[in-house]
Chain A
Amino acid sequence: MIELTIDGKKIQARKGMTILDVARENNIYIPHLCWDRRLKPYGGCRLCLVEVEGQRKLMAACSTPADNGMVVHTDTPTLRKARKTVLELLLVHHPLDCPICDKAGECALQDLAYKYGPSEGRFYAERKHEPEATSALIDRNPNRCILCGRCVRVCWEHQGVGAINLIGRGFNTKISPAFEETLDCEFCGQCVDACPVGALGAKPYKYRARAWFLESHDSICPYCSVGCTLTLDLREGKILRVRGVDGKGVNQGDLCGKGRFGFDFIYGESRLKTPLVRKNGELKEVSWEEALYYVAERLKAVLKDYGPNSIGAIGSARASLEDNYMLQKFIREVIGTDNIDTSARLGYAWALKGMEETYGIKLNPIKLESPIGKEVVLVLESDLTSTHPIFGLKFLEAKNEGSHLMVVEPRRTKLARRSSEWLRIKPGTGTAYILGLINFAIKEGVHLKKEMEIEGLDELSNAVAEFTPEKVAELTGLDKERFIESARRFINAESRLIALTVGAAENQKGIETVKAAANLLMLLGEGPDALQVPADYSNTYGAWLMGLRPMNGGKDLYTMLYEPGALKALYVMGEDPLVTMPDAGRIEETFKRLELLIVQDIRLSETAKMADVVLPAASWAEKEGTFINAQGIPQPVPKVVSPTGDSIPDWQILRNIARVMEHDLGVIEFSALKEEIAKVAADSGQQRWRLVPVEYDLTEKPDNEYPIVMVTGNIMQHSGALSVMSKSLSHVLSDAFVQVSPEDAERFGVEDGGFIKIASRKGEVFIKARVSDEVPEGMLFVPVHFAHARVNMLTTASPEGRAHLTAVRIEPKG
């Protein structure tokens, strides 16, 4: 601890803090423009100048370390004069177009000029850059730029992208992508929030409202499971933009593209406004009353003819806790069956099952800060910065702080590019790599040093005996020495972490991957905290806790969807299995054989088009609710806008159906529902470590006829059914594509941007090719969530929860 004096106040501070840090901690105001909490000090704007006694010149508070016995003055006539001059110089070439600039009213430069600045400048000059208008989502006006470089640094240092930089010299300096091309980045919009002036702005918000017309509400992001706090800015009941506010929420103000620009899905054109009932083969608009009576009658008929066990329900990983709770209450109490599940079955459920079999725990929430401070961090075949962007950022942060970031991944993802060590394996062989590590660790005898006994060691060492470095090198395509080197580093580290996702859309990982990783960590004496598997979507974790899964031998998702005839009636709430789940052909067949398909959704999805009844539900921000994020933290989601059309919250729909079926669920109000939910106890189980042997085998091996492995997954801008409804996100990416490696493109005669035919053992689809060296030879990567591409017609589901890669062949469309 050191002690210094700021403005006559004695202050204790930690060593290594800058004067600005100390001042901020003690609520002493020092103006600044180029400083950002997340970034290294830059000292570019010279506004944070302070007087330090004993120093001849003024010091920049943001980059001067606080020292013991320092005496600092933050507001003296000299400083005010210096600040005034600095502002005068900044305003030399800053256009005074505040009346049309969207930043006016919340502009740091405007505020400072008002506080310290001159009313008239002595120097005049003009910059004549043309505002850039071609990029999607992010609007750049270089004339307004004060060259503080916050956007550049946040993009490179914090976001790990480096899409923009300062180019040119002197008056001609501006922020631009390389060669002044159109911006082509991940469109996270962090630069927009970082910009203190109006040089960078969000295009969807451009000229829409002045800052003082807006009212702000905090909400939770509906996309991934990180559960970031969004600050919604509304004007007259319409959300105009989303901001991240520094220090707010689990994300501390960071947001990704989906969170920042994807909110407009609630204004999507395909939103349902009235209930629809199929009459003479066509979906017709009907009143709520008619729809509810129709549903009740049909459900009663199925119940009478086939019994409760012929009815099933699929909940939603995106709907709130309350909605999901009500669905399972409805199914269990009114229908009287246990046939209920969510999309978590395809991914996160296997992660939990894997951890239960090994660590003995039933829940393992992640910790966002977990990678920071670990010696080795291993990311296993997961594109974390795309699926969970803010969690992904922590890995970059960990690397910046000195962790060794190992990325085992065939695709050149952002983490792979920014890693310390990138092991480019063949797709789907991440499990083999981990098994190799286990074998290596046993051979090295590392586990013996830990002096602890875990049951199952012999079985495990037998099972992994074949995964010698040679075998692993052959399977994964890595160099043998490279493998051994990486294995040594991982095994001998002081602290370590394995992170992976097991997403519903991903097919290269499964339960065996989780079990292998858990085995390895147990062997090295690491607890479940060292295995970070985040849940998929905003409320996957919550839906799991609410009992949206068969608990007493009911039919699970695989039985309900992939065994035609297993059910007679299906209730689908907020899920689009035909697009987002594998083996869509089979699901379609199942749906055709159903007697009653009820879909309750916010839009007319592909599944809804096949339904007998479609019930419109109010979406996120249109109703109150709660999301539980991957950290297990329940966060309230307030109602900020009015529902679209006649839609009402999901839980109310279910309550109303129950009423029409003359069954009292005992819940009338939202508060009563919340009270009931509060009583649901989460059982996280007791830790009981057990090593379990893991079998490794690719389900579909590439052969001569189908030589390429197709990997499916989510991408940065899109993840499932919501994002494709967003107009803004569709500006960035609206068409389905498949990534083909340059080698394969040459081999099969595929052109960049041309349509190709992908054929698997299940079927074939036509899709646009993008030739990219992001994927290695022999691999295709394809995002699944574009309904028109029907990629899931090619894939298979694996009821054992194993990785289910698809072997395909490609040819240009003739």
Chain B
Amino acid sequence: MTVQELFKKIFFVEILKGMALTLSRLFTKPVTRRYPKEKRPAQLGFRGLHALVRNPATGDAKCVGCGLCAAICPSRCIYIYTSEGPDHQKVVDRYEIEVLRCVYCAFCVEACPFGAVVLTPHYEYADYSREDFYMTKEKLLENWDKYMGEKGFEYFDKFWNPKSTHFTTPEGQAIWRRKSG
């Protein structure tokens, strides 16, 4: 042991160095966020809770029940049940997502030809029962109103750049329009 080392040992030099750093930090701004009180906004494209896009024109979901989201879903957690409506149109009776099984890959959002399903930036949905994580069509539409709303379209279009914009039927192309609509 050299004299230098002995000196350090006797006078706690290392500890004092550390304490000096601690002391200096007392006078700087803290870097941690006080999470429940202080919330951090999610980044563009954060894959949080699911929502079904509400069509402002009809007030109902934009979803037509094509089932592409369910087809692409790797964890098979989307269930869609459709039936024939009174006007012989296709009606989506149930659109359900088992959130607990979801892996948040967002393939469903990419597959949707109508931009009707989205993952919102909302991430605080811990709860006590499994039922709360079984999203029905009503809950999913509510999610849209709560967490996306009007600003949603902008956010949605900017980040997700939904395929529906690419696949818009050209003007004049045959589409099936009903007389009434």
Interface residues, chain A, CB within 8 Å of chain B? 92-100, 104, 120-121, 124-128, 130-131, 133, 141, 143-144, 206-210, 212-213
Give the interface centre of B71, B80, B174 by most chain A CB atoms within 10 Å.
Answer: B174
A143 contacts B174, C-beta separation under 8 Å: yes
Q: A99-B114, A130-B179 are in contact. Are A125 and B172 (CB under 8 A)?
A: yes
Contact of A213 among B70, B84, B172, B176 (CB under 8 A): B70
Chain B contacts for A143, CB-based, 8 A: 174, 176
Shortest Cβ distance from residue A172 to the other chain B in the assembled complex, whole angstroms: 13
With both beta carbons as reference points, the residue of chain A lying nearest to B82 in the complex is identified as A207
Interface positions, chain B 83-101, Cβ under 8 Å from A, are: 83-84, 88, 90-91
Chain A contacts for B80, CB-based, 8 A: 210, 213
Chain B: residues with Cβ within 8 Å of the partner, total of 26
Q: A99-B113, A125-B174, A143-B176 are in contact. Are A207 and B91 (CB under 8 A)?
A: yes
With both beta carbons as reference points, the residue of chain B lying nearest to A128 in the complex is identified as B177
A124 contacts B172, C-beta separation under 8 Å: yes
> Does B56 sit within 8 A of A, measured CB to CB?
no
A100 contacts B65, C-beta separation under 8 Å: yes
Given A95-B176, A96-B173, A120-B170, 15 more contacts at CB 8 Å? A95-B175, A97-B176, A98-B66, A99-B113, A100-B64, A124-B170, A124-B171, A125-B172, A143-B174, A206-B84, A207-B82, A207-B90, A208-B83, A209-B82, A212-B67
CA distance A511 to B69 in the complex (A): 62
Shortest Cβ distance from residue B61 to the other chain A in the assembled complex, whole angstroms: 13
B67 contacts A131, C-beta separation under 8 Å: no
26 A-B pairs with C-beta separation under 8 A = A95-B176, A99-B65, A99-B66, A99-B68, A99-B113, A100-B64, A104-B66, A124-B171, A124-B174, A125-B174, A126-B172, A126-B175, A127-B174, A130-B179, A143-B174, A143-B176, A207-B65, A207-B82, A207-B84, A207-B90, A208-B83, A210-B80, A212-B67, A212-B71, A213-B67, A213-B70
CA distance A97 to B114 in the complex (A): 12
> Does B169 sit within 8 A of A, measured CB to CB?
yes
Contact of B71 among A92, A124, A207, A210 (CB under 8 A): A210
CA distance A721 to B175 in the complex (A): 45
Chain B contacts for A210, CB-based, 8 A: 66-67, 70-71, 80
Chain B contacts for A131, CB-based, 8 A: 88, 176
With both beta carbons as reference points, the residue of chain A lying nearest to B112 in the complex is identified as A99
Query: 1/0 per residue B139-181: CB within 8 Å of A?
Result: 0000000000000000000000000000001111111110100
Chain B contacts for A126, CB-based, 8 A: 172-175
Chain A contacts for B171, CB-based, 8 A: 124
With both beta carbons as reference points, the residue of chain A lying nearest to B114 in the complex is identified as A99
A96 contacts B68, C-beta separation under 8 Å: no
B66 contacts A100, C-beta separation under 8 Å: yes
A93 contacts B83, C-beta separation under 8 Å: no
Main secondary structure of the interface of B (DSSP, over half): loop
Closest 6 CB pairs of A and B: A99-B66, A124-B172, A210-B67, A126-B174, A95-B176, A97-B176
Q: How many A-B residue pairs have CB under 8 A?
A: 69
Chain A contacts for B67, CB-based, 8 A: 210, 212-213
CA distance A210 to B79 in the complex (A): 11
CA distance A213 to B66 in the complex (A): 11
B174 contacts A95, C-beta separation under 8 Å: yes
Shortest Cβ distance from residue A608 to the other chain B in the assembled complex, whole angstroms: 33
B88 contacts A96, C-beta separation under 8 Å: no
CA distance A615 to B174 in the complex (A): 57
CA distance A60 to B67 in the complex (A): 36
Chain A contacts for B90, CB-based, 8 A: 100, 207
CA distance A130 to B174 in the complex (A): 13
Give the interface centre of B67, B90, B113, B173 by most chain A CB atoms within 10 Å.
Answer: B173
B176 contacts A207, C-beta separation under 8 Å: no
Shortest Cβ distance from residue B141 to the other chain A in the assembled complex, whole angstroms: 19
Contact of A99 among B64, B70, B174 (CB under 8 A): B64
CA distance A185 to B82 in the complex (A): 29
Interface positions, chain B 74-128, Cβ under 8 Å from A, are: 80, 82-84, 88, 90-91, 113-114
With both beta carbons as reference points, the residue of chain A lying nearest to B173 in the complex is identified as A124
B83 contacts A121, C-beta separation under 8 Å: no
Q: A99-B113, A100-B64, A133-B88 are in contact. Are A93 and B174 (CB under 8 A)?
A: yes
With both beta carbons as reference points, the residue of chain A lying nearest to B179 in the complex is identified as A130
Give the interface centre of A99, A104, A125, A143 by most chain B CB atoms within 10 Å.
Answer: A99
With both beta carbons as reference points, the residue of chain A lying nearest to B85 in the complex is identified as A207
Shortest Cβ distance from residue A675 to the other chain B in the assembled complex, whole angstroms: 40
Chain B contacts for A94, CB-based, 8 A: 174
Interface positions, chain B 16-63, Cβ under 8 Å from A, are: none
B82 contacts A92, C-beta separation under 8 Å: no
Contact of A92 among B84, B169, B174, B176 (CB under 8 A): B174
Contact of A207 among B70, B83, B170 (CB under 8 A): B83
Shortest Cβ distance from residue A655 to the other chain B in the assembled complex, whole angstroms: 39
Shortest Cβ distance from residue B178 to the other chain A in the assembled complex, whole angstroms: 8
Chain A contacts for B82, CB-based, 8 A: 207-209
With both beta carbons as reference points, the residue of chain B lying nearest to A131 in the complex is identified as B88
Chain B contacts for A98, CB-based, 8 A: 66
Chain A contacts for B88, CB-based, 8 A: 131, 133
Chain B contacts for A120, CB-based, 8 A: 170
CA distance A133 to B169 in the complex (A): 26
With both beta carbons as reference points, the residue of chain B lying nearest to A127 in the complex is identified as B174
CA distance A226 to B179 in the complex (A): 45
CA distance A96 to B177 in the complex (A): 11
